[in-house]
Structures are given as structure tokens and as C-alpha cells.
Amino acid sequence: MPFQTEAPILAHDKVGHRHYRLRLHAPCVAEAAGPGQFVQMLYRQPFGPPMRRPFSIHDTDGEAFDVIYVARGPFTTGMAELAPGDTVSVVGPLGNTFEIMGDAGTRHVLVAGGVGAPPMHFFAKRTLAAMPVSDLTIINGARTADLIVANDDFTQLGVELRVTTDDGSTGRCGTVLDELKDIVRERPSVSVYACGPEPMLKAIAQYCLGSGIPCRVSLETVMPCGTGVCMGCVVKVRSSEHEDGCAYVRACYEGPVFDARDLLWD
């Protein structure tokens, strides 16, 4: 059940190149949130934004939760000016959650691309309560080193962390899919969970489907309302109930986490 609350800012820190970590006091959201869920946020300033924006939950701690975002548009650059003590209007938690797939002995590979890292961190932290740390691997990738998100947070979890960048400025020079293929060759029994840009998710989903690997992805898409009302975030999925074999569902309500077998990519 989502809540609407005015959440005071407890901390707001720059944690990378245009990356910010925002901690909000919202017990109702923090206690109910699950990995993969998100919140819709709005702050009020003179000439401020008129509509809420979605942000994945990065972590929860007692009565607070964190989001990590990149200041690169009018909404987020304005949000970067907020300070502890200011309040943010929050609706959440929204959407569905990641669930663990596979039997004992399965290696669980969490793949993050850019700002797809926050839900992967939240999922990894919760997953470690149910399995040995040796069964979890995280691949964190981006185009360049300054776009890598939450590396320090992943490191603090003590899991195996593999970093990739398209230009080789940090970690492996290559893509997260290149690294995933190496992991599969090392240990074929894997389950994959991913969040990031659509081209990345499409490539990972198609590889996993072709290799018989269970895969769930969290879609990054525009979500005007976040509550399933406006129909502005629909995605195409397979459907045996329709003559053309497909249907449209709301990423914010039926998702944002989907089984890769269900998605139809344009």
C-alpha cells in the first residue's frame, strides 16, 4: 500500500560526478519498501516543477530511505539545491519487487547500468540475508568512470563486484553483457536481475532467453503518475489472451520488474 507524506530531508550529499544521495525521513515508506520499488517525489520552490518524478529506492535504514540521482535536467538540478530540513512530498512505495530465483547453489548476478544501480543495491542488501555472500555477484557498468553509481555501497556489502566501462576508464573495457557472458562460462547455473538503460536491458534479456537463463529486469521508463492511472508508461508484453499475441501493461503498476520472457522489445 502506498503512502503520501511530507518527508523532511535528513541528509543530502554529493557522492559523484553530478550524483547525489538524498535521505528522507518517512517511516511509512521505509518500513513498507521492497527491492525494485520506487517513489514519486515533488519539491516545492518558486517556479518549481509541476509534476512528480520517479526515483528508485536505494536503501532503507530504520525510519528513513535513500535515493541516488543524477542532476542533469530541470527537476534534478533544482532538487540538488535542497538542504537538510527542507521537505519533499513523497508517494510510495510503488510498483512490484524483485524476487530470488533458482535453487541452492545458483549464482545470482545483479547487473546495474548507470542510475540502475540503486535498486540493485537495495536488492543485494536484502538478498544477503537469505544466502551466502559467495552466491552473489554484482556487475556495475556505465559509459565512463564518472557515470558509475554506488560502487562504494556495493563494496561495503562485501560481495564480488565487477565494474565495466565502455571506454575502459575504470574496470573492464567493455559492456556489462561482456562480463555476464564470462560469469556464465565460469558457472553456468545463474539467475540474472538487471536495471539500467533500455538497450542494455534488451541485450541482457535476449542473451538470457537464448541461453535458457532466468532473468528479471526493472524498466527505466517515464512514469507520469506512478500509480497506474494515466497510462503513460505502458510496455508491450506477450499475451495468449489476444489474437496478435501481445498486450500493454503499466510499468509503474504491473512492473517495473518484469520476467524477461514476458517483454516484447521494439
Task: Give the right CATH number for 98-220 from 3.40.50.80, 3.60.20.30, 3.30.565.10, 3.40.50.300.
Answer: 3.40.50.80
The residue among 78, 82, 56 whose CA lies nearest residue 256 is 56
pLDDT at 129: 86
Percent of the chain topping pLDDT 90: 79
CATH architecture of the domain covering 221-266: Ribbon (2.10)
Cell numbers for 184, please give them: 556464465
Instruction: Report how far residue 25's alpha carbon sits from residue 88's, in angstroms, rounded to the nearest whole number.
Output: 10
pLDDT tens-place string over residues 192-232: 999 999 999 999 999 999 999 999 999 988 888 888 898 88
| pTM, full prediction | 0.94
Residue ranges of the domains in the chain?
A: 3-94, 98-220, 221-266
Per residue in 26-67, pLDDT tens? Answer: 999 999 999 999 999 999 876 667 889 999 999 999 899 999
What is the chain's Cα-based Rg?
A: 18
| 150-160 residue pLDDT tens | 999 999 999 99
**Matching fold, domains 98-220 and 221-266:** no
Residues 6+ apart with CB under 8 A from 124: 110, 136, 138, 154, 157, 159
C-alpha cell at 37: 520499488
Angle at CA 125, nearest 5°, toward 234 and 136? 90
Q: Which CATH fold topology does 3-94 show?
A: Elongation Factor Tu (Ef-tu); domain 3 (2.40.30)
